[in-house]
Structures are given as C-alpha cells and as structure tokens.
Amino acid sequence: MQPSFWHDKWASQQIGFHLGEVNPLLVDNWDSLNIKSGAKVFVPLCGKSLDLCFLAEQGLDVVGCELSQTAVEQFFSDNQLDVDAQALADHTLYRTEQVAIYQGDLFTLPAHLLEDISAFYDRAALIAWPDEMRRQYVLQLAKLLPPKSIGLLITLDYPQETLTGPPFAVSNDWIMEHMSEHFEIELLHTEDVLADNPSFVKKQVPWLTESVYRLTRKG
C-alpha cells in the first residue's frame, strides 16, 4: 500500500474511515488510563479526526502525525483554528494552542520529536495496514513511544476473506502475537458492531467486532 493510495482517498474525499463525531469508545474508555492533565498524547494517522479535539478538551497536549496535507489543513479549517506551519526536514509541523500535527510519513518521523510523550491513541492506524505493513507499523510505534507511555487502541475484526480492506481485520490473537513483545496488553471491551455498520452488512460480512485495548509501552 503506497502513500499515493491515501493521497488519492483524501483528494477525492473518499474518506468513509473518517468519523464525523468523537468516537464513543474513546469517550467511554479514556478516563480509565488515568492520564494527567497537561500530558502529551500521540495520535498516529490522525486524519482530521474530532478525537483530537476531545483529547485537547481533557487538558492534554495532542501531537498527531498524518500523511495527507489535505487532511491536516481540513482539520484546522473545519474547527476554525488558527494555525502556524513550519517546514522541517521531512515533515511540516502544523500547530495551534493544544494541537500539533506533523504532516508527513509516519515511518520517517524522528523519535526525538516524541521524547516527552506519555500517552497515545490509535483508532485508525493499526487497522489501516495489511499484515506485513501492520507489523512494520508496530515496530515503528514501539520505536517512537517512550517506555511506560500508556495508550488506547481500538480495532476491528471480521473474516478478512469477505472484504478487501482498509479497514483490515485485526484479531486478538494477532495483537498478542505481534505486539506483546513491546507492550503490556489489556483487553478492556469487545462488542458486536455489525448492525451499526451497514456497509459491512451490504457486503455480506457475517460478523464484525470492535475491541478496545489498554497498551503500556514496555521498558
């Protein structure tokens, strides 16, 4: 999956993955992480998600990374936020009072930019990748996140053979096999969400579950 795939999606506004509200699972589960006000939280592949606004409203400093310049610009314009842009080596930093987004490739984001991160949130990143790239993403996330940082991960699982992602199916077994080396993992919640996703029903996906995990970076 090449960067052009995501650029084309945003250019044509084929962004069914964008949720036009704050994710209810984020609202229901974030407090369980006990993240202190003023902490910095990292959101990979953040798009123009309203979840960024929710996290900022919790008194957190939000740091996102997003490949699409269109997505980043729409986030600030949609929310009527003044923004400063600063060109860096391989990224452009867009920043307002409590939200900063590095526009560029997550896989080339330098780890030193996230040295003071203590929390993270992934609703759309892990499930955005096919298996091999997903493994690379886990390694990059582990490289970027400081030890002891705590995060919330939201995944989807369904019979992968019934649908061509993204979003891709990520099972609990996959998470335990490929993430437990780097993270302590606690499953917080799983629910059947097929009825709430008519696009999956229309494509005759027989079942669809959404799960929420608490992750703690080992080390």
Q: Which helix (H) or strand (E) is 187 found in, with range? A: strand 183-192
- Per-residue pLDDT tens over the stretch 54-76: 999 999 999 999 999 999 999 99
Average pLDDT over residues 139-161: 98
Residue 56 lies in a domain: yes
Residue 28 lies in a domain: yes
Residue 28: Cβ within 10 Å count: 12
Residue 172: Cβ within 10 Å count: 15
195: containing domain: 3-12+22-217
Residue 39 lies in a domain: yes
What SS3 string covers 163-177? CCCCCCCCCHHHHHH
The total of structural domains in the chain comes to: 1
DSSP β-bridge partners for residue 65: 44, 102
pLDDT over 50 at 6, yes or no: no
- Per-residue pLDDT tens over the stretch 78-92: 999 999 999 998 999
pLDDT over 70 at 102, yes or no: yes
Sign of CA dihedral 2, 167, 137, 135: negative
Round the CA-based radius of gyration of the chain to a whole number and report it: 17
Residue 209 lies in a domain: yes
Residue 17 lies in a domain: no
User: The whole model's pTM is what?
Assistant: 0.92
pLDDT over 80 at 5, yes or no: no
Residue 72 lies in a domain: yes
Q: What is the mean pLDDT of the chain?
A: 92
Q: What CATH number did the domain enclosing 178 receive? A: 3.40.50.150
Decide which of 1 and 123 is more confident: 123
Residue 219 burial class via C-beta count within 10 angstroms: exposed 0-12, middle 13-18, buried 19 and up: exposed
